[in-house]
Amino acid sequence: AQSVTQLGSHVSVSEGALVLLRCNYSSSVPPYLFWYVQYPNQGLQLLLKYTSAATLVKGINGFEAEFKKSETSFHLTKPSAHMSDAAEYFCAVSDLQGAQKLVFGQGTRLTINP
Amino acid sequence: DGGITQSPKYLFRKEGQNVTLSCEQNLNHDAMYWYRQDPGQGLRLIYYSQIVNDFQKGDIAEGYSVSREKKESFPLTVTSAQKNPTAFYLCASSIVQGWETQYFGPGTRLLVL
């Protein structure tokens, strides 16, 4: 069964600093991996997804993530944080077996300090 | 504009009452999903449906029921058997074929009076 672990339920960075949100997954078959963002009291919006093409995936709002099979990781980064990046971020994994079910991590709340 | 709508935005339930959350999509997606979100627990799958008139239990289906009579609609009923219904409920949809993105609605917050 798939699982996702997001290291750090809260991350705080200064405006302009590097953002690094960690995600490790467990899957018995090649995974599809997703990062979603959620602003307060809203639904989730896709930031980016990995579907076995390029290992470095670029998403919206300047975010990118790198798939590292040897480390079973899919960490999310952004070179320079902006105040508008403050939100909750979820990593999710799916695979090619059965129905397309996403398994979500517990989320990381990102705070940006001015 | 295509998208997913959920109503109401806030819903209050009295003890022993069943309540129904609405989810409608005009994306022409075959698959639809219901998730429950609690603080610090991420999203947990309640039910999902890949085609009209068919649905499957997710990880936390007890105390909930669904129907899928139309492709566009996937209502969720929170029954009186659900003893801890206070949560944020999210509906999503996706193309069944392949491993496409799930698109989410804005959510319904359910509170118990």
Burial A51-77 (b: 16+ CB within 10 A, else e): beeeeebebeeebbbebeeeeebbbbe
Angle at A7 between CA B100 and CA A63, to 5 degrees: 50
Query: Which of A9, A36, A43 lies nearest to residue B40, judging by beta carbons?
Result: A9
pLDDT at res. B1: 64
Q: With a cut of 70, which residues of chain B have pLDDT below it?
A: 1, 97-99
Instruction: State the Cα–Cα distance between residues B20 and B90, nearest whole angstrom.
Output: 13
Contact B94 A41 (CB under 8 A): no
Instruction: State the Cα–Cα distance between residues B73 and A113, nearest whole angstrom.
Output: 42
pLDDT > 90? residue A58: yes
Contact B90 A49 (CB under 8 A): no
Query: Which of B42, B94, B102 lies nearest to residue A106, judging by beta carbons?
Result: B42
B103: which chain A residues are within 8 Å (Cβ-Cβ)? 46
Residue type for position B50: Q
Give the A window 33-62 contacts with B, CB below 8 Å. 34, 36, 41-46, 49, 51
The pLDDT tens digits for A13-52 are 999 999 999 999 987 777 889 999 999 889 999 999 998 7
Contact B40 A44 (CB under 8 A): no
Instruction: State the Cα–Cα distance between residues A43 and B71, nearest whole angstrom.
Output: 21
B100 DSSP assignment = P
Q: How big, in percent rounded to 5, are the helix, strand and coil portions of chain B? A: 0, 50, 50
pLDDT at res. A2: 80
Do the beta carbons of residue A49 and residue A57 sit within 8 Å?
A: yes
Do the beta carbons of residue B105 and residue B76 sit within 8 Å?
A: no
In chain B, which residues touch A (CB < 8 A)? 4, 6, 31, 40-45, 48, 50, 56, 58, 88, 90, 92, 94, 96, 98-107, 109
Q: What percent of chain A stands above pLDDT 70?
A: 95
pLDDT at res. B97: 57
